Amino acid sequence: MSPESTRATSLVELQDLTKIYGGGESEVRALAGVSFRIDAGEFVAVMGASGSGKSTCLNMLGCLDRATSGHYLFCGLDVGSLTIDQLALLRRHYLGFVFQGYNLLARTSALENVELPLVYRGIPAAERRRSATQALQDVGLGDRMLHVPSELSGGQQQRVAIARAIVTSPRMLLADEPTGNLDSARKVEIMNLLRNLNQDRKITIVMVTHEPDMAEFASRIIHFKDGLIERDRVAEEATA
């Protein structure tokens, strides 16, 4: 079943989701019964101390791990019922990922890096090139498309990574500490870019960050503690 074939009021809904690693005395309850909803078009920052459950939650949303119990609904579709192949298709066609470490192919141009998700989709070469070119222009790198990562600054490399994530027009963009390796000025540039993509292209964004000032670029902030949601609030900048 396609997520788009279901009727749902939220893009994402977690229902009493738990994730337990290990057993006995070594058991770790990374998520201890988490429930929340994210509507299409939201920009949500997820915060919490190390071990609070925020990264585990992001992995669940990205279909990179399975819950121990509870339900994860994506466009009304119960993700827990999907096979490994179906999960891969959901990631490929509906989700985009941005990581702290950029994860670019070192000897490959920015343009070819951005084309890669379209290669996996079997998109013809000419169409791939057009889409990747547009994505790079959208992130302000239209003049750096043929440069390899070593010829780009950290901020530019993260822009390439964002272009790669949005080239497939995902329903949801998942960002894991996207500003973690950047200086203060580049952090703000990347956060403004993400906010513009959210507002102008209506891409739903869920971002894990440990930096309170970066989280305020989102419209909503969810705080995790000990595998549970401690607070769920509207960001201050969103109310300004």
pLDDT in tens, 52-82: 999 999 999 999 999 999 999 999 999 999 9
Average pLDDT, the chain: 92
DSSP string, 75-134: TTEEGGG--HHHHHHHHHHHEEEEETT----TTS-HHHHHHHHHHHHT--HHHHHHHHHH
Per-residue model confidence as pLDDT tens digits over 80-90? 999 999 999 99
**pTM of the prediction?**
0.91
% of the chain exceeding 90 in pLDDT: 85
Give the domain ranges of the chain. 3-239
Per-residue model confidence as pLDDT tens digits over 204-222? 999 999 999 999 999 999 9
CATH level 3 topology of 3-239: Rossmann fold (3.40.50)
Phi then psi for residue 132, to 5 deg, are -65, -40
